[in-house]
Structure 1
Amino acid sequence: MPTSYDLKGLMKFLARDEWPECFDEVFYDHFGPVLDGGDMDFEDLSDILGEVWAMTLWGCAFEDFLTQEFEVEGGNIVDEYLKRRGWKENAQAKAYIKALRTSVMSLYEVSEIVPGKSLMARDLIRGGEPIAVSEGTATKTLKQWDRIAARIVSVMGKNVFAGGLLPFTPQATDALFDSLRQVFGKKNTKKLPAIKDEELQAAASMFTLSWLFDTLERAMGLPSMQNADGDELVFHDVRFPFAPGVAQKDIAARVSTIPGLSRENAKFWNWLEEKPKHGAPKRGAPSFDTTMDNGMRVLGNIELKGKFLHLSTNSGERAQKGTTLIKQALGDLVRAPLTEIRTVEQMMAERPARAHEDLEPEIPPEIAEQVVHQVMDRQYRETLDQPIGMLGNKTPRQAAKSATGREKVAEWLKYLENQSSRQPNPADPMATYSFEWMWRELGVFDLRQ
């Protein structure tokens, strides 16, 4: 809880006879599915996640409880507390408690962070313009474009965060949005429906559960990402060397006969599922896959590069199936394939490692920064003309030509900026790199908010 707003009196009031049972109902909404599924107690969460996160989670449930009406005398604990004990609170604390009474949990994207002072927060669920939030603690650790679940309340003319603030990964975000679509009637679209404040207020436990499932999977060493087939997300690049004397046109002619391939250009094909699949993935983790405009899932990509045919997939199962299809179609036109396997973590770390690999440690910091930035400029400029999975396997330049594509490009650029900023040393050349030129070159700078 924020140290400037003491809620001890309100928490003590929770012990009165009418409220514990009411709080238990809310507590179960937030933690029951996790605790029951793992045969755990709340104390076990503290052991796994640490006491600080356990208290933050308890705070999320408590703040939700403060907004709810119950069939007991007084109906709402905040109304009853202020009526009976409000005279004990100073004006600022009373304003904060009143603001919590009508607060709404939502998911925000943060930007323009001034450490120790403020940030801008854009509501990813309800929309609208970013709002300024006065914040002293979280701003010291948050990075540009981080996503957080929080309650923003207005206290004496200033917007502040309540105590229950949870950082959301892309996987937790996807899980939350899937849950919201299922509850509010938009199951077969990626776009969130319009959700009223009172509806979102009633769905507060979804934020806690989405965060918990994602965090526990990573904390306990379980795979936190999978594709729509339920396969663990592990990226495979299968390279088929051409047999002597074989040209790209010979390979392209055979590849075009493989069922399920959709040709993007002379050297690139999308490998599509046979028919659209609906429903949840096989396991409980958030799923990761790209789809075409017609809803068909992309199982992988096939590309001609020099004297190699590349098959790229996001699981071992798909890599094996795709390899079989290619071998059957190409026969002796290619030799035995070579396979490179990378986890999600390895792929995220790959680009920074390449940017640094040729630099000697004794190079002055300002020279090292210049060299790293030049390397990144070159790599990212090449990337603008390469198919990107997050963009439906279109190049950034291609995607930026449509309204929907522009939004995807903006999300992709935010992801790049966010990952680049996550260096332990804020002076690291990766952390100081500016992506502004990419926003302007792709014509989406107006979406950088």
Structure 2
Amino acid sequence: MPTSHDLKGLMKFLARDEWRECFKEVFEDHFGPALDAGDMEFEDVAEILGDDWAMTLWGCAFEDFLTQDFEVQGGNIVDEYLKRRGWKETAQAKAYIKALRTSIMSLYEVSEVIPGTSLMARDLIRGGEPIAVSEGTATKTLKQWDRIAARIVPLGGKNVFAGGLLPFTLQAADALFDGLRLLFGKKNAKKLPAIKDEDLQAAASMFTLSWLSDTFERTMGMPSVQNADGDDLVFHDVRFPLAAGVAQKDIALQVNAIPGMSQENGKFWNWLEEKPMGKGGHGGTLSLDTTMDNGSRVLGNVEMKGRFLHLATNSAERAEKGAALIRQALGDLVRTPLTEIRTVKQMMADPPARIQAGAPSDIPPEVAEQVVHQFLDRQYRETLDQPVGMLGNKTPRQAAKSAAGRQEVAEWLKYLENQSSRQPDRANPMATYSFEWMWHELGVFDLRQ
């Protein structure tokens, strides 16, 4: 007996010539532009993203197809199918199919997730209060403030998700909003206009295309990232063991003599550029670097840690040059260095302020959590008075003074919470940190919904 979400009968009905041709039109709307841009076939999507995502994407197009009317006999496949084959379906299955007939794809923000049971979903396009959705599978992976494109349909007195559910990054959401503003808003509009349900229903393919574009870009490779010298960004930690009998004070004297070393304290130096060396970034790349308040570019850092002198830089070229300067200045005071290398992708994959898995420690978990939370308190309190890119380079306190800025601050805080909640280990101190005080501090707690 078919379940309420079983659409096999409808899919068999799709094999009829008239409906197969109609579905081709919808399929082209959802995938044509993305496939043409990458010179691909739909089969290539499964190769790149996997069979599960390919089926989910196909389902998004199929559910959109179920809502549309065509100039063929019957007009709509759901109406025609229920008329001819509805007697084969259970009452609950027919109710689900009818709900899909009038369903609307929208972008939702997730909150109050109860794994395996339910969540609250706030419509980011049409507005309104968050609604409760009964969901078993997706709630096991969704996190607070995640954004998803989905169809929410009523079934048996509850709200449920249809099959086509896509998780959206901030970048994908911005691309979608840009497209909707271009389609429905005034020229150069910055705000998303009010969109009628029937218009949003007709724009369902924009969700698939926005998700595909963002996912292809992330899956098929990051742009090349360089420092200001034009060197590929690869993080190097060069550790020089101190020779036997050598004291830290002996090392400090020699490091101070290295050109470009600016001492911050007894154990830490910034290695500064003496004069511009840069080859500059190249087209199609991101250029990243750090500068001091006076504009001096930081080439790396040198730090004393126990019986090791550490040189940290962001390229192989700088690591080689810095290591040569240290060997020249310190000579026999240090032994042959060991080097740890990490790429940008590896850095991004590591949780910030990570705790080494399996590392021996006598610190009880509750104490470690307290220490990490105290560190985060200090870090985020300082951030409240520092420019933030997501806030137009305003400080959070400055942005919170206007109505538009308050909305941006709320989105920024949700982003912080969302990233924190995505730690693989839910007991990780990063995952258990509470941002509630920041909402109150900035006066935007009423927007936390």
TM-score (norm 2): 0.73
Q: Is the 8 A contact 1:355 1:376 kept in 2?
A: no
Which residue in 1 is equivalent to 2:320?
A: none
Q: Is the 8 A contact 1:214 1:224 kept in 2?
A: no
Which residue in 2 is equivalent to 1:153?
A: 153
SS at match of 2:56: helix
Structure 1 residues 368 and 419, CA, compared in 2 at 3 Å: closer, same or farther? same
Which residue in 2 is equivalent to 1:108?
A: 108
1:13-412 paired onto structure 2 within 5 Å: 13-223=13-223, 305=293, 308-309=294-295, 352-354=351-353, 356=355, 361-412=361-412
Aligned mates of 1:385, 1:242 — CA distance in 2: 29
One-letter amino acid of the counterpart of residue 26, structure 1: V
Aligned mates of 1:153, 1:224 — CA distance in 2: 43
Aligned mates of 1:242, 1:398 — CA distance in 2: 35
1:387 is displaced (CA, Å) by: 1.0
One-letter amino acid of the counterpart of residue 81, structure 2: Y
Tell me, which stretches of 5 or more residues in structure 1 are unaligned?
Answer: 226-233, 235-240, 244-281, 289-298, 313-341
Residues 132-188 of structure 1: CA deviation (Å, up to 9, x unaligned) = 000000000001000000000111211000000000011111111111111113342
1:215 is displaced (CA, Å) by: 0.6
One-letter amino acid of the counterpart of residue 178, structure 1: D
1:223 is displaced (CA, Å) by: 3.2
Tell me, which stretches of 5 or more residues in structure 2 are unaligned?
Answer: 226-232, 234-259, 263-282, 299-341
One-letter amino acid of the counterpart of residue 434, structure 2: S
| Deviates most, 378-387 or 360-369 | 360-369
Question: Bigger radius of gyration, 1 or 2?
Answer: 2
Structure 1 residues 31 and 404, CA, compared in 2 at 3 Å: closer, same or farther? same
Q: Is the 8 A contact 1:218 1:224 kept in 2?
A: no
Which residue in 2 is equivalent to 1:250?
A: none
Aligned length: 358
Structure 1 residues 302 and 364, CA, compared in 2 at 3 Å: closer, same or farther? closer
Aligned mates of 1:186, 1:437 — CA distance in 2: 38
SS at match of 2:133: strand
Structure 1 residues 3 and 50, CA, compared in 2 at 3 Å: closer, same or farther? farther
Q: Is the 8 A contact 1:113 1:143 kept in 2?
A: yes
Q: Is the 8 A contact 1:120 1:132 kept in 2?
A: yes
Which residue in 2 is equivalent to 1:428?
A: 428
SS at match of 1:57: helix
Aligned mates of 1:384, 1:439 — CA distance in 2: 11
Aligned mates of 1:224, 1:103 — CA distance in 2: 41
Q: Is the 8 A contact 2:3 2:93 kept in 1?
A: no
1:353 is displaced (CA, Å) by: 3.2
Aligned mates of 2:289, 2:74 — CA distance in 1: 61
Aligned mates of 1:190, 1:360 — CA distance in 2: 52
Aligned mates of 1:365, 1:425 — CA distance in 2: 13
1:3 is displaced (CA, Å) by: 6.6
Residues 408-448 of structure 1: CA deviation (Å, up to 9, x unaligned) = 11000000000111111111111111100110111100000
SS at match of 2:150: strand
1:242 is displaced (CA, Å) by: 12
Q: Is the 8 A contact 1:242 1:309 kept in 2?
A: no
Q: Is the 8 A contact 2:4 2:94 kept in 1?
A: no
1:118 is displaced (CA, Å) by: 0.4
Is residue 8 from structure 1 mapped to residue 40 from structure 2 by the alignment? no
1:50 is displaced (CA, Å) by: 0.3
| Deviates most, 391-400 or 73-82 | 391-400
One-letter amino acid of the counterpart of residue 24, structure 1: K
Q: Is the 8 A contact 1:133 1:161 kept in 2?
A: yes
Q: CA RMSD in A?
A: 3.4
Q: Is the 8 A contact 1:176 1:207 kept in 2?
A: yes
Structure 1 residues 345 and 408, CA, compared in 2 at 3 Å: closer, same or farther? farther
Aligned mates of 1:36, 1:167 — CA distance in 2: 23
